[in-house]
Amino acid sequence: MKVAALSLAGVPLENPAEYAAALAALLKQLQTGLAVLPAHTSFLLCAAQEQLVDAGDFAASFRAFMQKARAWNEVYLQMHCRLARENKLYLVPGTTIVEEGGRFFLAACLIDPGGRIIGWQRQTHLSREERSFGLSRGEELPLFDVEGMKAGLILGTDARHPEVGRILALQGAGLVIHCGAIATGPELAAQPAGIWAQVQQNQFWAVEAQLKGSMGGRTFGGRCAVLGPCEITPGQTGYLDRDAEGRPFAAAELREADRRRIKTDYPLLELLRPEAYRGRLPELYGEV
C-alpha cells in the first residue's frame, strides 16, 4: 500500500473550492491508498474561511474555534469525505474539536474510499496549554482496518507518550497514523522522540503528517514522514521518505513482507518482560 503525509504548505486555505482542488491535484499526483493531513487542519481551515484568527493570540483563536467547531465540522467533514470518495482513498483529514456532553476533545476521523467515516480517535494526552483550554482526554485506542492492515491513530501530544504506541502495537497495529503540529524553535529537534521513537520500539509503520504554516502568531515546522523500523529503511534511518523544501509531503510504499521479516529476525515485542512490570504499570501512574 502506498501512503502519504501532507503538511498543507502552499495549499490555499481561504476558499473551500480552491482548497479542495489543490488537495485533489496533490492526491492525484501521489496516487496513494491513504493520505494523512496534520493536526489543526480543521482549525486552520475554519480560521482562514471564517476569519477566526486573532493574529497575535493562538490561544484566543483556539478558544473561539472550540465554540464554532460543532457547526464547522459539518462543512469540514463533508468536504473531506468528498475528497476521499473522489480520490478513492482512505483519508485522515487532520484533527478537529468534537463536543460531547459539554466536554471538548481533540479528535480525528478515518474516512474510507467510499467517503464514509469508519471511526474516530480522541487525543488521549493533553499538553499544559491544551488542558488550559478545558479539553478532555480520550480513553480508548481502537484499531481500524485499512486495506487489510490494522491501523491506529496517534494525535498531537500522544506522540510523546509511548504508552499509546505500545497499546496499539500490543493490540496488533501494523500501521500508525499521526496528525501532528510542532511549533518552530528548540522543540523541533526533539521530533524523533515522538513517532520515530514509537515506531522503533514497536516495529509498526507510521505515516506522520506535520503542519507547516502559521496561525495566531504561532509557526509550525515539523517534518512529514513515512517511517518504519530502522532495519528496513534506506540507510537504517527509520525513514522511508520525508518532506522537503518545495515538496510538502512524504510518500512511500509499505512492503509488509519487509516488516514481517524484521519482526521475525528481531522480535522486539516478544523480548518485553511483562512480569517485571507487574504491580508497577499501571499501578504507579498518577494524575498530572
Partner 1 sequence: MALDGWKERLFQKYLYWICRPARLRRKLSDLVKEGRAAPPREGRRLRAAALQVKIRLFKDPLDYAAEAHRRVAEAAAAGAHLVAFPEDNNLPLLGLLPGVEEMGEALAQGEAAPPPAAAGAPEITVADVIRYAGPVLAPFLHTLYSTLASAYGLYLMAGSFLLPDGERVVNRSFFYGPGGELIGTQDKVHLMPIEWEWGISPGREFNLFETAAGKMAAPVCMDATYFETFRILELQGAEIVIIPIANPEPYNYWLALRGIWPRVQECPVFGIKSALVGRLLGFEFTGRAGIFAPAELTPDGSGVLAEVESPEEEGMAMAELDLEALQELRRRHPWRDSNPALYRRYLPRLYCQLEERLKLKPAGD
Single out the segment in contact with partner 1 by CB under 8 A; choices: 60-68, 86-94, 106-114, 268-276: 268-276
Instruction: Please report, as residue ranges, which positions from 93 to 112 form the binding site for partner 1 (by CB under 8 A).
Output: none
> Closest approach of Cβ 82 to partner 1, in Å?
33
CB burial of 192-226 (b: ≥16 within 10 Å; e: otherwise) equals bebbbbbbbbbbbbbbbbbbbbebbebebbbbbbb
Comparing CB distances to partner 1, the nearer of 93 and 138 is: 138
Tell me if 59 contacts partner 1 by CB under 8 A.
no
User: Sheet holding 144-146: strands in order across?
Assistant: 144-146, 149-155, 175-180, 205-210, 225-227, 239-242
Q: Binders of partner 1 among 242-261, rule CB under 8 A?
A: none
Site string for partner 1, 186-225 (x = CB under 8 A): xxxxx-xx--xx--xx------------------------
Nearer to partner 1, 17 or 288 (CB): 288
User: Which part of the chain contacts partner 1 (CB under 8 A), choosing from 45-53, 96-104, 139-147, 214-222?
Assistant: 139-147
Question: 2, 33 in Cβ contact below 8 A?
Answer: yes
Please answer whether residues 123 and 138 qualify as being in contact, where contact means their C-beta atoms are separated by less than 8 angstroms. Answer: yes
Tell me whether residue 16 or residue 162 sits nearer to partner 1 (CB atom). 162
194, 181 in Cβ contact below 8 A? Answer: no
Is the CB of 102 or the CB of 186 nearer to partner 1?
Answer: 186
> How many Cβ atoms sit within 10 Å of the Cβ of residue 71?
11
- Shortest Å, Cβ 212 to partner 1: 18
Q: Name the residue type at position 198.
A: Q
CB of 260 to partner 1, least distance (A): 17
Using alpha carbons only, give the angle 6, 9, 14 rounded to the nearest 5 degrees.
110
| Binding residue for partner 1, selected from 80, 160, 178, 218, defined by CB under 8 A | 160
Regarding 124 and contact with partner 1 (CB under 8 A), the answer is yes
The residue range among 1-9, 47-55, 91-99, 158-166 that interacts with partner 1, by the rule CB under 8 A, is 158-166
30, 44, 141, 177: which one binds partner 1 (CB under 8 A): 141
Part of the chain binding partner 1 (CB under 8 A), chosen from 2-10, 65-73, 145-153, 159-167: 159-167
Nearer to partner 1, 246 or 278 (CB): 278
Which residues make up the interface to partner 1 (CB under 8 A)?
124-129, 131, 137-141, 157, 160-163, 166-167, 170-171, 185-190, 192-193, 196-197, 200-201, 230, 235-238, 266, 268-278, 280-282, 284-288
